Structure 1
Amino acid sequence: MFLWARDTLGADHTVVYHEYNRTTGGYAAARTLSSKGPTVDVWNASYLSATAAKDTADLGKLYPQPTDIVILNLGHQDDQATFDADVTTLWQAVSAKQTPLGLVILQNPETATTGLQETRMKNLARTADRLGLPTVDVMKAFTDASVPLTELVIGARPTQQGAQLWAGTVTSALQ
């Protein structure tokens, strides 16, 4: 999210970046990533071990004010048995606060559990479709890449090269 905000949005916008800190339960001081054009605030609520259920429970802290678009970027830690219901509940909670545009990122694979992650993302795509939310298939970009997966992710976290692929995939999808 950081690279996309800085490099893509920052090319034509003043980007004010707010990053959530689960340890403190709030957002760190905002950072200005670029100073070109109209201002865009990016609220990045991602954190290690995030799940749709945790995000719903913490929604008041994660989503402190109305916004133009909400990007759901989750799925590595979610329980397969409750994933559909948890994502549905999360989107209903977001929609109860306002009616933003929504977008779902089909997350990158994990090096150890690629098959499980593929199943999670197929299920997430079905849920997003049912909720009327468009998706960006980052998973496919990673699995179709010409470099080994081990160069793109460590565990579930993208490497620098993987983060660039993630940001490029999202940018291309939104153009």
Structure 2
Amino acid sequence: MPEMVTCLWFDGAAEEAARRYVELFPNSSVDAVVRSPADNPSTPEGAVLTVEFTLDGRRFLGLNGGPAFTPNEAVSIQVHTTDQAETDHYWDGLIAGGGAESQCGWLKDPWGFSWQVVPKRLSELMADPDADRARAAMQSMMTMQRIDVAGLERAVAAASPSSSSSSQ
């Protein structure tokens, strides 16, 4: 099977971004920095053209391609977290230095790339076989920016048959 590498297009900040990401994610590294051997439309000779980096075992390439293309929400990187502390770690690290919070676990990092920081518990609750509990999880998530696992749990508990009275 061929190796697949995700390429992220930057306007001159590929190395800075790669180094920030590598600091944030465990088992990560900057693997290669390639400088442009000649002037080109996006990069002068000698400036960083590409940065190869690995984030927790997944390979990426940062390309300093210039201002022609900018990231948007059509493509995002999902980070599945185990608990609230891990969710907070990635959320805070990814928005630090100029990123922006969005809705439902989405954010933009300082370079405009969209990330989804998703606690595994959210996925579990939204797949609950009890439709009322799954709906409560979804409705609660829709009110959040950063996902709050305790808030989700409270919403689902309130929707449980044992904790709510039936209106008949």
What is the TM-score when the length of structure 2 is the normalising length?
Answer: 0.30
Structure number with greater Rg is 2
More strand by share: 2
More helix by share: 1
What is the TM-score when the length of structure 1 is the normalising length?
Answer: 0.29
